[in-house]
Structure 1
Amino acid sequence: MTTRRAFVQWLAAGAASPILVGVGVRDARGGEPSRVALRDDRLVIEFDPAMRSRLAVRRGGGTRALTRFDASETLEQLIGPAPAPTSDGPAPDTRPVRTIDRFALVDAAHADVSTAFGAGRQLRLVGRSAHGFEKTVRITLLDARPGVALLDTQFRNVGTQPTDVRAWNVAAHRLLPAAAGAGGYWTYSGASHADRRDWVQPVKAGFDQRNFMGMNASDYGGGTPVVDVWRRGQGIALGHLDIVPRLVSLPVKAVRDEVSLGLRGEQTVTLAPGATLDTPTAFVMLHDGDYFVALDTYRQMMGAQGFHAPRPPASAYEPIWCAWGYERQFSLDYVRATLPKVQELGFKWAVLDDGWQRRTGDWVPDRAKFPAGDADMKALVDDIHARGQKARLWIAPLAVAPGSDELHDHTDMLLLDADGAPQAITWWNSFYLCPAYEKTQAHIAALMKKVIGEWGFDGVKIDGQHLNGVAPCYNPAHRHARPEDSVEHLADFYRVFHDAAHAIKPDAVVEVCPCGTAYAFHNMRYIDQAPASDPLSSWQVRHKGKTLKALMGASSAYAGDHVELSDGGRDFASAVGVGAVISTKFTWPVDPKPKDSFLLTPEHEQAWRHWVEVYNAHRLAEGRYRGELYDIAFDKPEAHVVEKDGVLHYAFYAERWSGPVALRGLQPGRSYRIVDYANGNREVGRIAPGHDAIALRFEHAALLRAEPLDA
């Protein structure tokens, strides 16, 4: 057995076993089948004779089990004939369900393989159930990625009759309890929910999250098909690597002091004799620290399949002012009156938000606000440009309102469900259009030509929770090969509007704000700027920043969204410290709203001016986010690091803190001067060679820069 990559080995009880692979898979002494394992420098996956598997971690010369032997790859079979349809449609399927979770191991083989993700070593296992199914599992460990395992699972009907299958499960495990007093488990999930919950949460008693990648509400769905569960010092990530979105779930559930997770597909299919059911390629990854490294690894592995977020235009890192402070009732006079203050404070983007259009779906200027129509829109853009700023326009594609000309003239573009009903978009009281329909794509390309090419805008703000995911489409006019075409080709719609905008202005900025949803990774190839998407707290600003810097790249143009949405409505520190572009929606000199005013008071103006100066002095959004250095759940105070021009910038957050903090990532043997870069570069301490701790006392945030003294 090599030290870098272990061969398949049979683990006979009480003795080291030779490599034995063959039909019958009996152990070296001719007895019953024993366990089979595949391992690398970090991960061990073992299978028992019933093809149940156990995960273990190799650390410090030893091996520690993370799970028991779990029925990890299972099938759910429906018993009996399907119910006959009624006059009202399909009848409820109330057939009993048999969970097939034991497959007698009958064959095993290993081989060196080459994959899209690099070279590795693969173990192929075949098992038979007592209920007429054969299961084949291929586990691949990659030479360049210790701790990562790929799992390809296939189920085959080896019986003589067709049978219906309701669901499958892959890599389903229950993690053993964390050490007593160690803080339990935390989780990241990439699913979207209508309550816009945190993406990063503690796994408390009763925690149960399905994490469905389809629609979890009428207009909330899609996401990144990865979950991560970690305790102090050890984590496990699970997801799939398919190049299109799949309607699967990644459930995470607290089971007493343990945590279960897995990859699950739920769709009734009929398997004829000899027919197979293939699951998406799954991956399991063991890691230290929190979820950042796992998401970064997922990004790199998807990159090996051609998925890369675009390099943002330089202007994507400029501070942003948005007219949404006036909401839909804005007027041109209000916007024009605010622009001088926007310019004075140093915000380089002016964004015209919702309310400029005649109706949702009718993307023409509202004559009540733009009496001259297109001419008024062009004049506004010219005013913004004359101030040395760039102009961005809000749109909500894929949404069309009842009563709009778009709906009247182009009903064929609607996304329809299996009953022929349109899919509702709640916020705008609108309906979905189908993103996979060529006509829908042609319409968004034409709109980009008008917005960027004719009106002269420098970018667009593509907005709406409905844009993150769509339901299957049954509209017969679209001639879909499968209803899931709409789901799997949503990214093509993104490609059309991104390419159309950049064909007109190569440095145009395409911002996508999916309003509280967990960004769908498959769409990220066509996003220049991703904001915190309507954060509910400063905590969301920060952990969404960590997440998106992992998924889109450490120097991606993440924006903190309107600072007015942060804690207290003025927490610029949470955006600046994680390397986010700053953004605001203040109103000035007046705010016509009787309540919920965002008026820039003299006190606010002083603070806004200060933070624009801090942001522009350091431009940390352009730096490299170092999410691997701190665990966002277990390291206290909460810590983030951005490296810019070889210098480390630290951000610490706590309600109150008094005590030492470790400055990780410093070069050994060097001395550092530590300064508070948000408060005039005031020195707060020095670090001698061989040390990395400093005493800090702060409330809410401390933003520090480590300046080498021996540079």
Structure 2
Amino acid sequence: MKMHRKLLIKNLILSSFIFVLLISCNSQEASKKQVLKIENEKLVFEIDSKLYTKISTSLPEAKLLMGDFQSSENVTIGNTVLKDFEFKTLNEKKLEGPIPGKEWVVIGLYEKDGLKVSKKLILRLYGNFPDLISTQVTYTNESKEDVFVKQWVNNSYTISSKGDEPLFWAFQGSSTTERSDWVTPLEEGYYKKNYMGMNDTDYGSGIPVTSVWRPDVNIAVGHLALVPKMVSLPTEVTAKDKSAFISVLEDYEERTPFKAGESITTLETFVSVSKGDYYANLSRYSNLMQAKGIKMVETEDEAFEPIWCAWGYERKFTLDEIVKTLPKVKELGIKWAVLDDGFQIAEGDWDVDPKKFPKGNIEIKELVDDIHSYGLKAKIWWTPLAADPHSKNLQEQPEMMVVQKDGSPQFITWWNAYYLSPTKEETINHTKKIITLFMKEWGFDGLKMDGQHMNAVAPDYTLDNPNDSFEGVPAFFQMIYDEARSIKPNAVVENCPCGACMSFFNMPSMNQAVSSDPTSSWQVRHKGKTYKALVPHTAYYGDHVELSDNANDFATSFGIGAVLGTKFTWPKDNPDAEASYLLTPEKEVIWKKWFSLYNEKMLSKEPYLGNLYDIGYDKPETHVITKDGNVYYAFYADDWNGKIAFRGLQEGLNYTIKDYFNDKDLGTISSDKAFIEISFKDYLLIEATPIQ
């Protein structure tokens, strides 16, 4: 029997990682052997002679991730899943350019019952991105006959359960009508498809990452394309052995020919490991995407200023109601006033409704002047990419519509409107005219772009490539951002995809994110942690406080570094509004205290330390912000009585700790004894100040 060759490569490029290559020249022996092992910091990636893989980690105290090699990359031809590829060759090379690293190309061959398909598995290790390896596969039909492809799968891993409670936690970045939590515990029998295309007529896209974790280790998978793609990232927990299953896959909707001699190439996907919750893996993904070419916009200071929105008066507001509320807005220390839905003739026709504004557009300009006269900035609500069927602009330019495969327009049920196709010149010109109207003619300082439909658009079959409409959404919003800022250089551009997990690809073209119609304070908090992982310097708006638990949970937004907002009415409600948001004298005392404290601390602009606490398994739920050497802790629990730990303190220092909302001193702690026993309900906000 021939001996195995061993190749040890050390100290490659910018990172301290080790590669071990083991190649067997005897095919019978090779069936039992690994052919490649890569160690990138704490991630260990192995491939055997059937091109199965195994993921493990050297993270301290981490337990076994998976028991054996798994068919993590495969393709389905007809009704056959091609898994077992006989190893043929292996090549490696350095990656040059803006993201240096290392690349391996592993070739295997499937040959059975007349079907012959080669598999080229490309693995990339990027030197500045530890604990992550990317995967891309090309399948070539080397058969003599044409076949049909149904599906390809990358990074398919079954993760062993260790009996934790809950079994796993997961971050999942898809969007559906359920408007479900992005971060959720997983129990046996759980399944979610996490499709990144259109899940419902109004909902689609999201963040193409699934991150699943136990207390000891987190494993994430996703794709690295620079535009949105219609793939799935399913998550499942089996009832049999309680293992978690994750993958990235593309289903071919129709019977798709895979002709003899042709090739199919998957997206570049990745696997990444970390300790703790999803924050580190999501941050690493975003940083790699930015290194690949995604450009996040610069922070806008004015986007961090607190907000009042006129939506408390709802669509049947009057100008008199808004104008009479402005003195109270200013008195509370709020800096922005937002004109919300209800001013327009129709979605698509953005001139003012003459029934509500007899003097026409001039009355909106006068409202903006009134807002400015109080030293406030003005933002206007808008739902781009939507036009009502009866709107004048759509009737004059019906070619703006997205047309589905059956010839019908794509409908936005929420607005009773039609989707506009984002790459068409008519849609772009129409949109630019609206921005000019809002910001140049009327004088607004910012845009509140609103609607879950903004996250994604279905394929438009009037285009040469129907998928251009789906993949062209990010460029459309970049155009809006650039156009708005060309008119108002400090314009705040808010993207609010109502209840949806915002498309990662739309994030580079906004300077104010928002929790976007949260259904709970928990959503405000974990959405905030998500944005701070992906776009750490952007302003994150917690939305109207009236959408939080009990309609008054300022502490949730404040503690995680979110911008405060409200939609209170004063001195009375609109009689046609569905609910009351009246600022009573009792509520006013509370509102004033929170907005005053917000303007004093401005924690929303400061660094958020997302790696210190696991949002799933650590109790109480904890978030941390640093400012000027002080450390700000936000603890959340329904009813807590016990120990709380203060992580992230500077070694060797003592700190005074203070409940700064209630102005109550809680004593001192040291970095080596950083805990206290305490009880609280709902929240506890603490400032830790080093003792010099």
Quote the Cα distance in structure 2 between the aligned partners of 1:160 and 1:262.
31
Quote the Cα distance in structure 1 between the aligned partners of 2:62 and 2:548.
45
Q: Which residue of 1 aligns with 2:127?
A: 143
Counterpart residue identity of residue 317, structure 2 = F
1:365 aligned residue (352, 360, 376): 352
Q: Which residue of 1 aligns with 2:3?
A: none
Q: Which residue of 1 aligns with 2:244?
A: 259
- 1:185-204 correspondence runs (5 A): 185-204=168-187
- 1:283-682 correspondence runs (5 A): 283-475=270-462, 480-553=463-536, 555-593=537-575, 595-680=578-663, 682=664
Q: Which residue of 2 aligns with 1:133?
A: 117
Quote the Cα distance in structure 2 between the aligned partners of 1:403 and 1:531.
31
Measured after TM superposition, the shift of residue 596 of structure 1 is 1.3
Q: Which residue of 2 aligns with 1:26?
A: 26
Q: Which residue of 2 aligns with 1:273?
A: 260
Quote the Cα distance in structure 2 between the aligned partners of 1:429 and 1:158.
50
Counterpart residue identity of residue 569, structure 2 = T
Quote the Cα distance in structure 1 between the aligned partners of 2:151 and 2:360.
54
Q: Which residue of 2 aligns with 1:8?
A: 20
Measured after TM superposition, the shift of residue 693 of structure 1 is 1.1
Quote the Cα distance in structure 2 between the aligned partners of 1:119 and 1:215.
35
Quote the Cα distance in structure 1 between the aligned partners of 2:268 and 2:503.
18
Quote the Cα distance in structure 2 between the aligned partners of 1:689 and 1:414.
60
Quote the Cα distance in structure 2 between the aligned partners of 1:604 and 1:177.
48
Measured after TM superposition, the shift of residue 231 of structure 1 is 0.5
8 A Cα contact 2:31 2:50, kept in partner: no
8 A Cα contact 1:308 1:524, kept in partner: no
Quote the Cα distance in structure 2 between the aligned partners of 1:335 and 1:511.
21
8 A Cα contact 2:187 2:237, kept in partner: yes
In structure 2, the CA distance between the partners of 1:181 and 1:418, relative to structure 1 (3 Å rule), is: closer
Q: Which residue of 2 aligns with 1:77?
A: 77
Quote the Cα distance in structure 2 between the aligned partners of 1:516 and 1:62.
35
Q: Which residue of 1 aligns with 2:167?
A: 184
Counterpart residue identity of residue 291, structure 2 = A
Measured after TM superposition, the shift of residue 120 of structure 1 is 2.8
1:242 aligned residue (220, 225, 245): 225
8 A Cα contact 1:685 1:694, kept in partner: no
Deviates more, 1:285-294 or 1:597-606: 597-606
SS at match of 2:543: strand
Quote the Cα distance in structure 2 between the aligned partners of 1:240 and 1:193.
20
Deviates more, 1:648-657 or 1:45-54: 45-54
Counterpart residue identity of residue 42, structure 1 = K
Q: Which residue of 2 aligns with 1:40?
A: 40
8 A Cα contact 2:134 2:269, kept in partner: yes
Counterpart residue identity of residue 423, structure 1 = Q
- The reply on whether 1:701 has 2:683 as its aligned counterpart is yes
Counterpart residue identity of residue 369, structure 1 = K
SS at match of 1:245: coil
Q: Which residue of 1 aligns with 2:4?
A: none
- The reply on whether 1:68 has 2:68 as its aligned counterpart is yes
Quote the Cα distance in structure 2 between the aligned partners of 1:327 and 1:592.
8
In structure 2, the CA distance between the partners of 1:31 and 1:125, relative to structure 1 (3 Å rule), is: closer
8 A Cα contact 2:31 2:48, kept in partner: no
Counterpart residue identity of residue 546, structure 2 = E
TM-score normalized with structure 2 length:
0.94
SS at match of 1:124: strand
Q: Which residue of 2 aligns with 1:15?
A: none
Measured after TM superposition, the shift of residue 702 of structure 1 is 0.5
8 A Cα contact 1:672 1:709, kept in partner: yes
Quote the Cα distance in structure 2 between the aligned partners of 1:509 and 1:181.
44
Quote the Cα distance in structure 2 between the aligned partners of 1:500 and 1:251.
38
Quote the Cα distance in structure 1 between the aligned partners of 2:30 and 2:583.
80
Measured after TM superposition, the shift of residue 373 of structure 1 is 1.4
The CA deviation string for residues 334-376 of structure 1, in whole angstroms up to 9 with x for no partner, is 1111111111111110000000001111010111222111211
Quote the Cα distance in structure 2 between the aligned partners of 1:673 and 1:194.
47
TM-score normalized with structure 1 length:
0.92
SS at match of 2:357: coil
8 A Cα contact 1:312 1:509, kept in partner: no
Quote the Cα distance in structure 1 between the aligned partners of 2:30 and 2:575.
81
8 A Cα contact 1:250 1:261, kept in partner: yes
Quote the Cα distance in structure 2 between the aligned partners of 1:688 and 1:74.
53
The CA deviation string for residues 268-303 of structure 1, in whole angstroms up to 9 with x for no partner, is 432222211111111100100000011111110011
Quote the Cα distance in structure 2 between the aligned partners of 1:566 and 1:105.
56
Quote the Cα distance in structure 2 between the aligned partners of 1:457 and 1:5.
53
In structure 2, the CA distance between the partners of 1:31 and 1:496, relative to structure 1 (3 Å rule), is: closer
Q: Which residue of 2 aligns with 1:94?
A: none
Quote the Cα distance in structure 2 between the aligned partners of 1:101 and 1:542.
41
In structure 2, the CA distance between the partners of 1:544 and 1:621, relative to structure 1 (3 Å rule), is: same
The CA deviation string for residues 12-34 of structure 1, in whole angstroms up to 9 with x for no partner, is xxxxxxxx37xxx437x976562
Counterpart residue identity of residue 285, structure 1 = S
Measured after TM superposition, the shift of residue 142 of structure 1 is 2.9
Q: Which residue of 1 aligns with 2:192?
A: 209
SS at match of 1:153: strand
Counterpart residue identity of residue 149, structure 1 = I
Quote the Cα distance in structure 2 between the aligned partners of 1:8 and 1:709.
49
Counterpart residue identity of residue 434, structure 1 = S
Counterpart residue identity of residue 133, structure 2 = A
Measured after TM superposition, the shift of residue 65 of structure 1 is 4.3
In structure 2, the CA distance between the partners of 1:573 and 1:30, relative to structure 1 (3 Å rule), is: closer
In structure 2, the CA distance between the partners of 1:273 and 1:614, relative to structure 1 (3 Å rule), is: same
Quote the Cα distance in structure 2 between the aligned partners of 1:273 and 1:116.
37
Measured after TM superposition, the shift of residue 182 of structure 1 is 5.0
Deviates more, 1:481-490 or 1:135-144: 135-144
8 A Cα contact 1:52 1:71, kept in partner: yes
Gaps of 5+ in 2: 1-7
SS at match of 2:260: coil
The CA deviation string for residues 224-256 of structure 1, in whole angstroms up to 9 with x for no partner, is 111100010200010111111110000000112
